Structure 1
């Protein structure tokens, strides 16, 4: 806070208060609009001026009572639970498709169904196209119904934000999630193991993303470029996108303005654009990688990269000493 007394004198009090309008909230519950205590600062400088005129022991003060904080944007007292708890809960809802697709792929491997398909002439290319299209249609219908029902029951998380941004964000992420399912399926041969690890990954990564990303963003002290690095992890990028949607939904419910729009992506504090770029780039990079790993696993190439990785992860065989009489 800075003061400029301009032409103030013993008969005239004219002060200009300068304050920083940018502020942050460090509470765990997001509050889009903070309180700037400018009125109390003005009261303090007014009392200082009165003491300058009347002396320190005069006891004359300018009382500050029944005055609200200003300046403050007009808001409405609303509690939108869908936006407050939405990022973590909706992340789990979206990510639950991952173990479903992974289980489907590993089940076929465990019961040799894909081998029988290959014996009937189904190659790797048509296999990928068929199952990728099936998973894409399944995921798209699932999320479209999810958004539609959320908007119909009046959740501001879906109703106030631009539907085009929501479609691009969710559609790009489900494509990345499908590729991750194909990639992860190459490392599992048992359905139970794949399911257990998939669900642990979903709930564990969701809790970790909710704790780290939210605290880093609202704390304001963690470098933003390192937050972008963390968003390379798919669970973190999903949470960041949902977090941005929830923040704009909260602001929309309090001010009556629309939620996130395409023009808001140019805001330097908005991370939605970076998140969508990261998701799309990861999808394009991991798509050929997942196809190669899947092809190497299907043909059983012992000299391929996948076999080398599996051998490195496999435990070393245990040896025991054999006596001479045992050999005989």
Structure 2
């Protein structure tokens, strides 16, 4: 019996030693222990969660880019930095008076740009002869409009927009502050029966909305590389590029939207040619809207561009 009791006593001592060692080890390695609470403790992590650093990264990416889209690094965070994908950037926020409208061809749309201090911004820098450019397009890339709204004394902008086709429309406020270009975007809903636009095939020729023939000559597009886009305008059998009139201080304008998320790229030609140097931010399908002025009328020609990987 004495041998049995001795063995039981020794086993009990061994168990106590094991549990004591485990407790000490757990205290030393527990990430939510007292040493963590004294610094960036569990409560702080619970308040901020895992989404706050991602949001900060998106804002930082937008704050350090060029005036418009540049070729980003691969990954979702680079996509988030592209112009037009966010309603807020660098402390500026696009605030629509409303986001739902009846289908009408002349719909007054009002909006404001609010700064980081919560105040409505009323001072903008001139960019291509205007203080703000307002781009409107339905999410199927039809109904493109490039408008120049008027601003009231309180900072409220207003423009008459053609929202005659039901669907989801995307609006972009393109403006310059502190010598930096920013493009904020938001959706507007127009209830009704949605009829999708006819798909536009990739090609090098298009007819402008004013009846002029426009030809695109471009270097082979490649994601992340600069591509040259040259446009030739014909009135009948005559090339009339040398007769194009200045439009907002430039020979012409080009807006490119990426199909799907409508990432926004707005460029202007250099010199006196209807020619653009554009860097595609990613592979994919893009819609090009080139605008120019001829005989007092603003023309828009639309092209589909596929950018391979």
- Is the pair's TM-score, using the shorter chain for normalization, greater than 0.5? no
TM-score by length of 2: 0.20
TM-score by length of 1: 0.19
Higher percent of residues as helix: 1
Bigger relative contact order, structure 1 or 2 (CA pairs below 8 A, ≥6 apart): 1
